Structure 1
Amino acid sequence: MGWSKRLMLSASFAVILFFQPFQSISASSGERVIPMGHSIGIQMNLSGIYVTNDVLINNEQWLKAGDSINRLNGTEIISLSEFERVMTKVKKEQVNMNISRKGASVEVMAESDAVKRLLPFLKDRTEGTGTLTYVDPKRGTYGALGHQIVDSTLKSPPPFKNGAIYLSEIEQIKKSKPGTPGYKISTIIDNESYLGTIQTNGVRGIFGTWNDAYKKVLAEPLEIMQPMELQAGAAEIFTTVKGTEVEKFSIRITEVEEEQFHFILTDTKLLEVTGGILQGMSGSPVIQNGKFVGAITHMFIDEPKKGAGLFLVTMRDGERRN
């Protein structure tokens, strides 16, 4: 992308934003969606169970981080609870395991005691935090993050069967410093009440169906700005740095490119609290002259006051509705 500084995404997922061509469903002039800025907890149930670390399972063989376990002694394994249930019935000294490794099916024999000790190194869910970008009240959909979720264990977008986003509360801020990105510490308020389902985990964000039960958190829709309208100069972001309160903070647009823009934080109140952009701010809406510009996606590690964002018209291309 030709950026001269080192960049880091401002969400808790360690991923890189790539731009790929999609069939455009870009916003037409005058289209409106609701800017959000709420902190969200993200949970995705994986399509199977995955190994998080290299683990020795007999005298010679290892399970590798990123392997998925398909079957134990011929029984299909689809969750950690299923894994535990099968292992409680194992009486033999060895267990036949079928695993997937880099797309290939592999049969291995493992010592039963080693397999029973595997549980702390297995996962069937990936979790993280970020910021809700917009809700489209006409379509009943939402968009968040502005970039893809890549699981830290798998080093790739996780194959998932379902997922949801939840309203979260900021409990603590670790401030950003040059060379050291800060982050939000937050917790989901209610695990039984989701904001929306996750249907797509794409390079331009996560997207899904909005839960109408959360109409109370919605504000007034804003017109989506076309990229050629954005001007260098004053703008603002919507984000959450305390509790569940969405606040407005000032920024200055410094550079405008085809699908993204650069900016610098100028709000002294925000800088005093955060020191700059934080991990977990990915998806924070950017507004200029009453129009919805896009979302924060990146920070400059060495200069945490500086960041970059994705135009909303580009982000919404990633929604790819059927």
Structure 2
Amino acid sequence: MNWEFVRKMIGGVLLVSLFILGFSHPFQQYLHFPKQVRMMEGQEVHFAKSVNVSAAPVSSKSTAEIKNSKDSVAIKGKSVGKEDMFLEFAGLPIKKVNVQVLKNIKMIPGGQSIGVKLNTLGVLVVGHHLVETTKGKFSPGEQAGIEVGDIIIKINDHKIEKLSDVGPIVQSTAQNGRPLKITLKRDQKTIQTSLTPLKDKSEDHYKLGLYIRDSAAGIGTMTFIDPKSGKYGALGHVISDMDTKKPIVVENGRIVKSTVTSIEKGKNGNPGEKLARFSAEDQELGNITKNSPFGIFGTLKHSFSDDKYDKPMPIALSNQVKTGPAKILTVVNGSKVEAYDIKIVSTVPQKFPATKGMVIKITDPKLLKKTGGIVQGMSGSPIIQDGKLVGAVTHVFVNDPTSGYGVHIEWMLNEAGIKLYKKQQTTQQEAS
């Protein structure tokens, strides 16, 4: 007997068998059973199975309850914490799964149109200009190495908080023939430089050769409010300066009520926008303490009145969001919040914070007729699916205004200081 031939035949049969096994439905189910399951307290998740596999806890913790049936494995979150479990086949452990149960928190969904007023940290350099002197045209700021996007925080050791702080220091120092000692922020660095102002021959006073700004304003949409702490999140994306295109570093700010007066309808290649005015009384609804890639955040001082969507609702984690029908809450006329149909086209179950977690498409005929799709000012509109707050609208696709991106709500909550995860896990994520 040719044993070499037999050995090759057996090897070939095994190789083909393994190849076929890899494409079998039971094996594919095993591969797709997640290594980590995240859920809220009291929630139950089901995983289908077509082979005799069961699940069992590794320890005697009571974080999760496991129910095995003929067609599925059900896991129910009993108390906040972590627990490992094993998938078993014929009594032998074949896969380890980490179960994490989170506190079941509820948020009040937003949808209201808000006016945003930001004050920058120091004054923001948005451009250079030439000062016309008797010897020619020069820009002292540019000569001093100051760049567009820099933030001036001190002049001659005097803290700069607003535009009106700059002029008196510049004039008094220059009249004495001394250069200015400028302290500025550039990205994460603190830089010092010397600048000698020049006298404008036509206006008879000294100039820096810089265009500077200390505030910004616009409109957006409220995403959520924490009924316990009053913390809120809105917009779903960072506010950048219109000239420098850089994120505005916030010293302080406030949100006020706004009323939508009209809509510029979006078209392919030309996104539309909400046109709105701030409320006449200009009452501060809340402060702004953070401007991040996930939106603006702060604490409300006054609540929105006469809002039918004022009941707290549970939130969904990124791995719980699914493709299919959903709704957004937003204002397209006056101050009335209404719900509109959308479709979640795709969603990414993210393990770490990221801004583009969903692709959404407006499907509501009324909204499409009124706005053409997603328009500027709609950013922050909460996304609701199966009675849960799942995220917020963030960006529109320029070439298709009916579609755009959404951010998962858990990352906005995290930015607002509403922690879903234990501090220990957050530290591990930052270190990795």
Is TM (by shorter chain) over 0.5? Answer: yes
Shorter-normalised TM range: 0.7 to 0.9
* Alignment-derived partner of residue 82 in structure 1: 165
> How many angstroms does 1:70 deviate by?
4.8
CA distance in 2, matches of 1:191, 1:245: 18
Tell me, in whole angstroms, the C-alpha distance in 1 between the residues paired with 2:349 and 2:208. 48
Matched, 1:104 2:194: no
Q: Does 1:252 align with 2:343?
A: yes
CA positional deviation for 1:286: 0.8
Which one is further off, 106-115 or 84-93?
84-93
Offset at residue 212 of structure 1 (A)? 3.6
In structure 2, relative to structure 1, the CA distance for the partners of 1:191 and 1:66 (3 Å cut) is farther
Mapped contact 2:361–2:402 kept (Cα < 8 A): yes
Deviation, structure 1 residue 251:
0.8
2:236 partner letter: G
The offset of 1:303, in angstroms, is 1.0
Assess if the C-alpha contact under 8 Å between 1:90 and 1:112 holds in 2: no
Q: Which residue in 2 is equivalent to 1:164?
A: 254
Question: 2:312 matched to 1:221?
Answer: yes
Matches of 1:231 and 1:295 in 2, distance apart?
15
Residue range with higher mean Cα deviation, 206-215 or 181-190: 206-215
Alpha-carbon displacement from aligned partner over 1:111-154 (angstroms, at most 9, x marks no partner) = 13387567993211122221100111112211111122222344
- Structure with more relative contact order (C-alpha pairs < 8 Å, separation 6 or more): 1
Q: Kindly indicate whether the alpha-carbon contact (under 8 Å) linking 1:182 and 1:274 is maintained by their aligned counterparts in 2.
A: yes
Normalised by the length of structure 1, the TM-score is 0.81
Q: How many residues align?
A: 297
1:177-231: CA deviations, max 9, x gaps?
1111111222211464112111222222221111145455461111112334333
Residues of 1 paired with 2:116 and 2:368: CA distance? 26
Which residue of the partner structure matches residue 405 of structure 2?
Answer: 308
- Aligned pair in 2 of structure 1 residues 27, 137: CA closer, same or farther (>3 Å)? farther
Q: Distance in 2 between matches of 1:247 and 1:27?
A: 33
Which ranges in structure 2 are unaligned for 5 or more consecutive residues? 1-99, 132-136, 351-356, 420-432
SS at match of 2:297: strand
Determine the structure 2 residue equivalent to 1:198: 288
* TM-score, structure 2 normalization: 0.62
Matches within 5 A, 1:1-322: 28=102, 30-57=104-131, 59=138, 61-63=140-142, 64-70=147-153, 76-86=159-169, 92=175, 96-99=179-182, 100=184, 102=186, 103-113=190-200, 121-190=211-280, 192-214=282-304, 216-217=306-307, 219-259=310-350, 260-320=357-417
Partner SS for 1:273: helix
1:52 aligned counterpart, secondary structure: strand
Q: What is the Cα deviation at residue 45 of structure 1?
A: 1.2
Residue 46 of structure 1: CA displacement?
A: 1.3
Hey, what does 1:18 align to over in structure 2?
none
Q: For residue 227 of structure 2, what is the amino acid of its counterpart?
A: P
Q: Equivalent residue of 1:248, what SS?
A: strand
Further displaced range: 212-221 or 288-297 = 212-221
Paired letter, 2:270:
T
1:68 and 1:136 mapped to 2: Cα distance?
A: 33
Q: Output the CA distance in 1 between the equivalents of 2:305 and 2:178.
A: 51
Describe the shift of the 1:237–1:210 C-alpha distance in structure 2 as closer, same or farther (beyond 3 A). same
Choose 174-183 or 204-213, whichever is displaced more. 204-213
Equivalent residue for 1:22? Answer: none
Report the Cα distance in structure 1 between the residues aligned to 2:211 and 2:410, rounded to whole angstroms: 40
More helix by share: 2
- Counterpart residue identity of residue 221, structure 2: T
The alpha-carbon deviation at position 311 of structure 1 amounts to 1.6
Determine what percentage of the aligned residue pairs are the same residue: 34
Letter in 1 for 2:194: E
CA RMSD of aligned residues (A): 2.9
Alpha-carbon distance in structure 2 between the residues aligned to 1:75 and 1:228: 50
Instruction: Flag the 1:87–1:105 CA change in 2: closer, same or farther, 3 A.
Output: closer
Structure 1 residues 29 and 158, CA, compared in 2 at 3 Å: closer, same or farther? same
The 1:70–1:223 alpha-carbon spacing in structure 2 relative to 1, beyond 3 Å, is closer
Instruction: Give the greater-gyration-radius structure (CA).
Output: 2
